[in-house]
Amino acid sequence: MAYLQRINYRPNMDNISAKEQESLQTKFDPGSVDVIINGDTIRWDYIEEIEVAVAARQKGLAGWLVKNMVMGGDRYHVAFYFGREEAVIINLTLPAAQFVVQTAAYYLPKRVVYTGPDGVAATSEV
């Protein structure tokens, strides 16, 4: 089982386009005690798991066109699980997904399970 590794620096949005930064700021608003995801406030200490998943697309020409021409490449969903609930930020580019997960790694006060692709954020097995 992989755990999100805490970091001691606050991530920045330098690698995220201005348009996506604006969109992300309406969906994800982190603070020192809690985070607002899609308008819902969640205390950092309630979060138990973070999952990153590649957004599903249809196979075939239509799926390829949407993925590459409309969306500009792969998109990712970042899910935060707490108790029996979840909060999901959808259709993020890889840099935006990395920003969200690394920001969580900065603020989270406890160890949290991470599932998803390698390279999004630092993880540890212990």
Higher pLDDT: 58 or 96? It is 96
Three-state SS across 3-55? EECCCCCCCCCCCCCHHHHHHHHHHEEECCCEEEECCEEEEHHHCCEEEEEEC
pLDDT score recorded for residue 59:
59
Tokens 């020409």, residue located: 61
What band does 114 get if pLDDT is binned at 50, 70 and 90? very high
pLDDT score recorded for residue 74:
81
Question: Using an 8 Å Cβ cutoff, are 89 and 37 in contact?
Answer: yes
What band does 61 get if pLDDT is binned at 50, 70 and 90? low
HSE-CB at 48 with a 13 A cutoff on CA atoms is 6
Q: How far apart are CA 94 and CA 68, in angstroms?
A: 14
Higher pLDDT: 100 or 73? It is 100
What band does 64 get if pLDDT is binned at 50, 70 and 90? very low
Closest CA to 97 of 77, 74, 81: 77
Q: Mean per-residue pLDDT for 51-66?
A: 67
- Please state, in angstroms and as integers, the Cα–Cα distance from residue 110 to each residue in 15, 17, 43, following that order: 27, 31, 12
